[in-house]
A and B are shown apart, each in its own frame.
Chain A
Amino acid sequence: MNGPIRKVTIFVSLLLAALLVNMTWISVARTESLNDDSRNRRVRDAEFSRNRGAILVGNEAIAESVPRTGRFPYVRTYPKPELWSSVTGWYSYNYARSGLEASFNQELAGTSSEQSIGRVVDLLTGRQSSGANIQTTLNADAQAAAVKALGDKRGAVVAMDYTTGEILALVSTPTYDPNRLATVDLSEAQTAWNELLNAADEPLKGRATREVYPPGSTFKLVTAAAALEDGMVPDTMVDAPDSLRLPNSTRSMGNSTNCGGDRITIEQALKTSCNTAFGNLGLDLGGDKLRKQAEAFGFNQDPTIDVAAAKSRFPTELDEAQTALTAIGQYDVAASPLQIVQVAAAIANDGVMMKPYLVSSVTNRDLTVLSSTTPQRQGQPLSASSAKLLQQMMVTVVEDGTGSPARISGLTIGGKTGTAQTAPDRPPYAWFVGYAEDPSVAVVAFVENADVARDDISGGKLAAPIFRAVVEALR
Chain B
Amino acid sequence: MSDQVQPALSDEVIVYRKRRGVELLLLLLAQSFGFAGYVITDLNLYGELPSNIILVAAVWYGMGIAVHLVVRFILPYADPLILPCVFLLNGLGLAMIYRIDQIPEPVRTDSSTQMIWTALGLVLFCLVAVLLRDHRRLQRYPYLMFIGGLVLLLLPLAPFIGWKSGGAQIWIKVAGYSFQPAEVAKIMLAIAFAAYFYEKREVLALAGRRVLGIELPRARDLGPIMVMWLACLAVMVFQNDLGTSLLFFGLFTVMIYIATERPAWPILAGILFVGAALAAYKFTNHVGRRVSAWLDPFSDYDKNLQIISAQFGFAWGGLFGRGWGLGRPGLTPLAKSDMIAAALGEEIGVLGLMAIIMIYGLLIARGFKTALTAPDGFGKLLAAGLSFTFALQVFAIIGGVTRLLPLTGLTTPFMSQGGSSMVANWIIVGILMVISHRARMPQAATAAPQEMSALDDATAVISR
What is A's interface to B at a CB cutoff of 8 Å? 1-6, 8-9, 12-13, 15-16, 18-20, 22-24, 26-27, 30-32, 34-35, 37, 39-43, 45
Contacts and interface: CB of A to CB of B under 8 A. Distances in A.
Contacts of A15: 391-392, 395, 399
Contacts of B327: 42
B350 A27 contact: yes
B361 interface: yes
B98 interface: no
Contact of B257 (A8, A42, A45): A8
Interface of B: 4, 254, 257-259, 261, 301, 308-309, 311-316, 318-319, 327-328, 331, 345, 350, 353-354, 357, 360-361, 364-365, 368, 371-372, 377, 380-381, 384, 387-388, 391-392, 394-395, 398-399, 402-404
Per CB-CB distance, the 8 closest pairs between chain A and chain B, nearest first, are A34-B315, A42-B316, A22-B404, A12-B391, A4-B258, A15-B395, A31-B315, A27-B350
Contact of B315 (A6, A24, A35): A35
Contacts of A19: 357, 394-395, 398-399, 402, 404
A30 B391 contact: no
A22 B399 contact: yes
Contacts of B403: 22, 26
A8 B353 CA distance: 24
Among A2, A12, A40, residue most surrounded by chain B Cβ atoms (within 10 Å): A12
Nearest to B345: A23
A23 B300 CA distance: 23
A420 B368 CA distance: 84
A15 B361 CA distance: 10
Given A5-B368, A34-B311, 7 more contacts: A15-B391, A16-B395, A23-B345, A30-B315, A34-B312, A34-B315, A37-B312
Contacts of A2: 4, 372, 380
A253 to B, nearest CB: 53
Contacts of B353: 23
A386 to B, nearest CB: 55
Contact of B331 (A9, A30, A41): A41
Contacts of B354: 20, 23
B312 A16 contact: no
Contacts of A13: 361, 365
B256 to A, nearest CB: 10
A42 B331 CA distance: 8
Nearest to B377: A1
A27 B318 contact: yes
B313 A42 contact: yes
A40 B315 contact: yes
Interface centre among A8, A31, A45 (most CB of B within 10 A): A8
A398 to B, nearest CB: 57
Given A16-B361, A22-B399, A8 B261 contact: no
7 contacts: A4-B258, A8-B388, A12-B387, A16-B391, A26-B315, A34-B311, A43-B312
B86 to A, nearest CB: 17
Given A1-B380, A15-B391, A9 B399 contact: no
A423 B368 CA distance: 82
B395 A1 contact: no
Contacts of B388: 8, 12
A20 B331 CA distance: 24
B261 A1 contact: yes
B328 A45 contact: yes
A117 B319 CA distance: 19
A31 B315 CA distance: 4
B372 A5 contact: yes
B216 to A, nearest CB: 19
A35 B314 CA distance: 10
Nearest to A39: B301
B259 A1 contact: yes
A461 to B, nearest CB: 52
A42 B314 CA distance: 11
B312 A42 contact: yes
A45 to B, nearest CB: 7
Contacts of A43: 312, 316
A264 B95 CA distance: 89
B7 to A, nearest CB: 15
A46 to B, nearest CB: 8
A30 B403 CA distance: 11
Contacts of B313: 42
Contacts of A23: 345, 350, 353-354, 357, 402
Contacts of A3: 261
A40 B316 contact: yes
Nearest to A12: B391
A34 B346 CA distance: 13
Nearest to B314: A26
B435 to A, nearest CB: 13
Given A16-B391, A19-B357, A31-B318, A41 B312 contact: yes
B368 A20 contact: no
A14 to B, nearest CB: 10
A1 B258 contact: yes
Contacts of A20: 354, 357
B347 to A, nearest CB: 12
Contacts of A16: 357, 360-361, 364, 391, 394-395
A13 B368 CA distance: 11
A5 B371 contact: yes
Contacts of B361: 13, 16
Contacts of B314: 26-27, 30-31, 34
Contacts of B316: 34-35, 40, 42-43
A13 B367 CA distance: 13
A315 B76 CA distance: 90
A22 B294 CA distance: 14
Contacts of A5: 258, 368, 371-372, 380, 384
Contacts of B257: 4, 8
A93 to B, nearest CB: 15
Given A12-B364, A15-B395, A4 B261 contact: yes
A9 B368 contact: yes
Contacts of A24: 350
A31 B318 CA distance: 7
A403 to B, nearest CB: 55
A119 B403 CA distance: 32
B170 to A, nearest CB: 23
B169 to A, nearest CB: 27
B270 to A, nearest CB: 12
A39 B258 CA distance: 48
Nearest to B305: A39
Nearest to B364: A12
A77 B392 CA distance: 54
Contacts of B392: 15
Contacts of B308: 39
Which of A4, A26, A39 is the most central at the interface, judged by chain B CB atoms within 10 Å of its CB?
A4
B355 to A, nearest CB: 10
Nearest to A41: B331
